Structure 1
Amino acid sequence: MTPRCAVLDDYQGVALSLADWSPLGGTVEVRTLREPFRSEDEVVAAIGDCEIVVAMRERTPFPASLLTRLPRLRLLITSGMRNAAIDLAAAARHGITVCGTASNTEPPVELTWALILGLARNVATESTAMQAGGPWQSTLGADLHGRTLGLLGLGKIGSRVARIGLAFGMDVVAWSRNLTAERAAEVGVRAAATKEELLEAADYVSVHLVLGDRTRGLLGADELRRMRPTSYLVNTSRAAIVDQEALLRALRENWIAGAGLDVFDQEPLPAGHPFRTLPNVLALPHLGYVTRRNYEGYFQQAVEDITAFLAGSPVRQLN
């Protein structure tokens, strides 16, 4: 029987056009699914007959409870080489090979700056007014030059964000639990002694940390209150690093000037969620990695992963 492959969460309907799937020929039956799943039951109903699944980042979680219900699954591919939504230990117990793909770091860096600039210059407000025939110039922009950019995390993405901040003439300071002054100096920025010091000093705070036990809820009510009423928070990393209820309160009560958000604790974000309507929020639907170059790489390498697995020599394994 020809093995079946499901490509999940292809929201834009581009998976089959951005890669050459012909090497699979008639050896694999490929189908794409565009709508997000609302439950594990929906996942099982949609892909329970598949031996191969291509997942897009963490859009569809694969916990142990779901993997147990997919007895036919033999190869699970994720875009990127890290996916906290896949239970790798459970996959191994069920004999499921998990493979990944490369992922470029430039797109989330660029989107971070789109959010920072959009907040600083009130881009959404002014553009909406222009389209609606509203007032000509209704806001005063905030400056970047001479202001302080605080980075929580100075890894591959954070360090690139830092260099752009320096090019704008900003004072850039960074903090993470393991960050040293020497590492910060390599990037040309200062290391804050504490998280609190960074939050109190920064005009713009941008999150670039991996979600884990030590970073979950890293910014709660106490931390957000340390930020200035004129400062902005940007999160293109993971929603759970910031306490979402505390952030909503901070925005409603104007503890901070605003937030640029690309990640949420529930995705897609429900239609009536306040993050969609708060006037001091610039929200995007998790676009950080969503670029043509990234997608071309994801899907082409997914084809390579499938081909290698069928040949008995899987590549880019996560488990």
Structure 2
Amino acid sequence: MKIVVLDDYQRVARTYGPFDSLAGAEVEVVHEHIADPGELAAALRGAEVVVAMRERTPFRSFDKLPDLRLLVTTGMVNAAIDLAAAAAHGVTVCGTEPAGSGYANTAELTWALILAVQRHVVTEDRAVREGRWQTTVGTDLAGSTLGVLGLGRLGTQVARVGQAFGMRVIAWSQNLTPERAAEGGATYVSKDELFATSDVLTVHLKLSRRTTGLIGAAELAAMKPSAVLVNTSRGPIVDEAALVTALTAGTIAGAGLDVFDVEPLPAGHPLRDAPNTVLLPHIGYVTDAGYRAMYEQAVEDIRAWQAGAPVRVLTP
């Protein structure tokens, strides 16, 4: 049985996952991202099992993957996989649960981005290395308003930290109620009020047809000129072109981004030159505990599928 593990950028898949314990398995680990569908099909030729890292590699069609029988994705939701197409081609899709700390790793990175943008951490670090001293003026969090777009498990963790910083926490999403918002430590507001009053707006929604492009030119224009946007959720929720325009024009003060429409972020992308931004390579979930849980469960998924009793099966 041939197994291909994709997108192991840090070359740690074998360290975290006991792939070598799978009897009779030929395991191949791919360290560079393969964006071209033809090249991907060639790389996966003969593979019965593929392990995909989150949404780095899309699987929309399985016509060119005749040997594939099991597709394991890290995470229990992957918008880059067409589950109906997989089922139609007889491909089982399994996922992995988050580490014991839940989504704490992404919540922690959200605050790293918020603090980095508001206190100009990257700019000042570079300035010190270049021999300059105190080049910016930071923005206080205490007394400001944190807007949480999406108050699920992850958004709730972020909201609680906002309270600890002494921030007023408000929230909105399409299905959120005032009662649920209060349980999550936030005040429910309308969408318009969320964008108009947030000093920091942080995105914690699942990517879907309903949320794609949810933050566009109109929403960005409604934000305060002093406000910042942080997105550790999924890139397409924010209209990138509109965001670049807002940042360049100074209609919002800055942005902290861990996710993008196309990942890795292409060379020459205008976000690379946008002012007052901190850009990270989608590392919200990239922690020791997170990787250990993902890769260990990926091996569990393969072993269970071999035994004829697949676990953590994802269905359309």
TM-score between both structures, scaled by the size of structure 1: 0.96
2:8 pairs with one of 7, 10, 25: 10
Q: Deviations over 1:227-259 (max 9, x none)?
A: 011000001111111111111100000010000
State the SS of the aligned residue for 1:54.
strand
- Tell me if the contact between 2:68 and 2:91 (Cα under 8 Å) persists in the aligned partners: yes
> 2 CA distance for matches of 1:188 and 1:72?
49
The answer (yes or no) to whether the contact 2:247–2:275 under 8 Å persists in 1 is no
Q: Cα distance, 1:275 vs. partner?
A: 1.4
**Which shows bigger deviation, 15-24 or 101-110?**
15-24
What is the aligned counterpart of 1:41 among 38, 43, 52? 38
Match among 119, 122, 129 for residue 121 of structure 1: 119
* 211-220 or 67-76, larger mean C-alpha shift: 211-220
Aligned residue in 2 for 1:179: 176
Separation in structure 2 between the aligned mates of residue 179 and residue 38 of structure 1, nearest angstrom: 37
Counterparts of 1:187 and 1:268, CA distance in 2 = 33
CA contact (8 A) 1:5 1:53 kept: yes
Corresponding position of 2:226:
230
1:218 aligns with 2:210: no
Is the Cα contact below 8 Å between 2:35 and 2:57 reproduced in 1? no
User: What letter is aligned with 1:311?
Assistant: A
Name the SS for the 1:10 alignment partner: coil
Instruction: Give 1:215 deviation, angstroms.
Output: 1.1
Q: State the identity as a percent.
A: 56
Whole-angstrom distance in 2 between the partners of 1:278 and 1:214: 27
- Structure 1 position 140 matched with structure 2 position 109: no
- Residue 187 of structure 2 corresponds to 190
Deviation at 1:23, TM superposition (A): 2.7
CA deviation digits over 1:132-190, x for unaligned, max 9? Answer: 22x21111110000000001100010000000000000000000011111111112210
Task: Measure, in 2, the Cα distance between the counterparts of 1:311 and 1:79.
Answer: 20
Number of equivalenced pairs:
312
| Aligned AA (1:249) | T
- Matched to 1:279, the amino acid is P
Matching residue's letter, 1:16: R
Q: Is the 8 A contact 1:23 1:307 kept in 2?
A: no
Partner of 2:81: 86
Shift of 1:214: 1.4
Q: How far off is 1:293 after superposition?
A: 0.7
Of 58, 62, 71, the match for 1:61: 58
SS of structure 2 residue aligned to 1:107:
helix
Distance 1:276 1:318 in 2: 35
Aligned AA (1:84): A
Residue 27 of structure 2: SS of its match in structure 1? Answer: strand
Written as runs of structure 1 = structure 2, the 5 A alignment for 1:100-119 is: 100-103=95-98, 104-119=102-117
Q: Secondary structure at the match of 2:3?
A: strand
Q: C-alpha separation between the residues in 1 aligned to 2:249 and 2:275? A: 12
Residues 102 and 298 in structure 1, CA contact (< 8 A), matched pair in contact too: yes
1:55/1:76 contact within 8 Å kept? yes
Alignment-derived partner of residue 238 in structure 2: 242
SS at match of 2:123: helix
Whole-angstrom distance in 2 between the partners of 1:188 and 1:21: 42
Stretches (4+) displaced over 4 A:
none
Q: CA deviation at 1:268?
A: 0.6
How many angstroms apart in 2 are the aligned matches of 1:129 and 1:303?
Answer: 45
1:96 corresponds in structure 2 to 91
Structure 2 unmatched ranges of 5 or more: none
CA distance in 1, matches of 2:45, 2:74: 21
Q: Deviations over 1:116-144 (max 9, x none)?
A: 000111000000111122x2111111000
User: Unpaired segments of 5 or more residues in structure 1?
Assistant: none
Distance 1:48 1:136 in 2: 55
Matched, 1:254 2:228: no
Q: Deviations over 1:44-96 (max 9, x none)?
A: 110121000000001000002xx111010000000011111111111111111
Partner of 2:298: 302
Q: Is the 8 A contact 1:225 1:250 kept in 2?
A: yes
Distance 2:258 2:186 in 1: 25
Who is 1:159 aligned against?
A: 156
Contact 2:171–2:186 (CA under 8 A) maintained in structure 1: yes
Matched position secondary structure for 2:14: coil
